Structure 1
Amino acid sequence: MIRLIVHRLLTSIPLVFVVTFLTFFLNSLAPGDLARTMLQGGGTEEQYLALRKQLGLDLPLLLQYWNWLKKAALGDLGVSFFTGERVTVLLNSRISVTVSLMIGVLFVCVLAGLVLGIVSALRGGLIGRAIDVLSMAGLIFPSFWVALVFIAVFAVWLQWFPATGYTPLRSDAKMWFLGMVLPVMSVALHSITNVAKQTRDSMLDVMGRDFIRSLRAVGISETSVVLKHALRNAALPVVTVLGLILVAAISGTVFVERVFVLPGLGSLAVQAAEQSDIVLLQGATLYFTLMTIGINLFVDLSYGWLNPKMRTR
Structure 2
Amino acid sequence: MPGFIARRVAAGVALLFVISLLSYTLLSIPDLDVGRQLLGQGAAQDLVDARNAALGLDRPALVQYFGWLAGAVRGDFGTSWFTSENVLRAIGNRLPVTISLMLGVTLVTTVLSIGLGVWAGVRRGAVDKVVQVLAVAGYALPGFLVTLVIVLVFAVRLGWFPAIGYVGIGESFTGWLSTVTLPILSLSAGSVAGVAQQVRGSVIDVLRQDYVRTLRARGLPPWRIVLRHVLRNASAPALSVLGMQFVGLLGGAVLVEQIFGLPGLGSMTVGYTTRGDIPVIMALVMFTVIGVILINLLVDILIGWLNPKARLS
TM-score, length-normalised on structure 2? 0.95
Deviation of the 1:141 alpha carbon = 2.4
Contiguous gaps of at least 5 residues in structure 2: none
1:29 corresponds in structure 2 to: 29
1:1-313 correspondence runs (5 A): 1-30=1-30, 32-308=32-308
| Equivalent position SS for 2:168 | coil
Deviation of the 1:255 alpha carbon = 1.3
Q: 2:293 is aligned with what amino acid?
A: I
Q: Determine the C-alpha separation between the residues in 2 that align with 1:125 and 1:83.
A: 59
Q: Determine the C-alpha separation between the residues in 1 that align with 2:74 and 2:4.
A: 26
Verify the 8 A CA contact 2:206 2:230 in the aligned structure 1: yes
| Equivalent position SS for 1:82 | coil
Q: Determine the C-alpha separation between the residues in 2 that align with 1:122 and 1:31.
A: 59
Deviation of the 1:100 alpha carbon = 1.4
Q: Determine the C-alpha separation between the residues in 2 that align with 1:149 and 1:194.
A: 20
Relative contact order, CA 8 A, sep 6+: which one is greater?
A: 1
Deviation of the 1:155 alpha carbon = 0.7
User: Which moves more between the two structures, 143-152 or 243-252?
Assistant: 143-152
Q: 1:204 is aligned with what amino acid?
A: I
Identical-pair percentage: 39
Q: Determine the C-alpha separation between the residues in 2 that align with 1:40 and 1:125.
A: 67
Q: Give per-residue Cα distances to partners, 1:260-290, cap 9 Å, x unaligned.
A: 1111111111111122211111110111010
Q: Determine the C-alpha separation between the residues in 2 that align with 1:31 and 1:179.
A: 40
Q: Determine the C-alpha separation between the residues in 1 that align with 2:255 and 2:19.
A: 21
Q: Determine the C-alpha separation between the residues in 1 that align with 2:69 and 2:253.
A: 26
Q: Determine the C-alpha separation between the residues in 1 that align with 2:267 and 2:30.
A: 20
Deviation of the 1:251 alpha carbon = 1.2
Deviation of the 1:63 alpha carbon = 0.5
Deviation of the 1:310 alpha carbon = 5.3
Aligned residues: 313
Contiguous gaps of at least 5 residues in structure 1: none
TM-score, length-normalised on structure 1? 0.95
Q: Determine the C-alpha separation between the residues in 2 that align with 1:143 and 1:77.
A: 33
Deviation of the 1:17 alpha carbon = 2.0
Q: Determine the C-alpha separation between the residues in 2 that align with 1:108 and 1:307.
A: 25
Q: Determine the C-alpha separation between the residues in 1 that align with 2:22 and 2:258.
A: 24
Q: 1:183 is aligned with what amino acid?
A: P
Return closer, same or farther for 1:277/1:114 CA change in 2, 3 Å cut-off. same
Q: Determine the C-alpha separation between the residues in 2 that align with 1:256 and 1:109.
A: 17
| Equivalent position SS for 2:79 | coil
Q: Give per-residue Cα distances to partners, 1:119-141, cap 9 Å, x unaligned.
A: 11122222322222222222332
Q: 1:86 is aligned with what amino acid?
A: N
Q: Determine the C-alpha separation between the residues in 2 that align with 1:271 and 1:142.
A: 23
Q: Give per-residue Cα distances to partners, 1:26-76, cap 9 Å, x unaligned.
A: 222336321111112132112111101001110001011110001000000
| Equivalent position SS for 1:81 | coil
Q: Determine the C-alpha separation between the residues in 1 that align with 2:94 and 2:293.
A: 19
Q: 2:41 is aligned with what amino acid?
A: G
Deviation of the 1:227 alpha carbon = 1.0
Q: Determine the C-alpha separation between the residues in 1 that align with 2:296 and 2:110.
A: 17
Q: Determine the C-alpha separation between the residues in 1 that align with 2:174 and 2:228.
A: 35
Verify the 8 A CA contact 2:138 2:194 in the aligned structure 1: no
| Equivalent position SS for 1:78 | coil
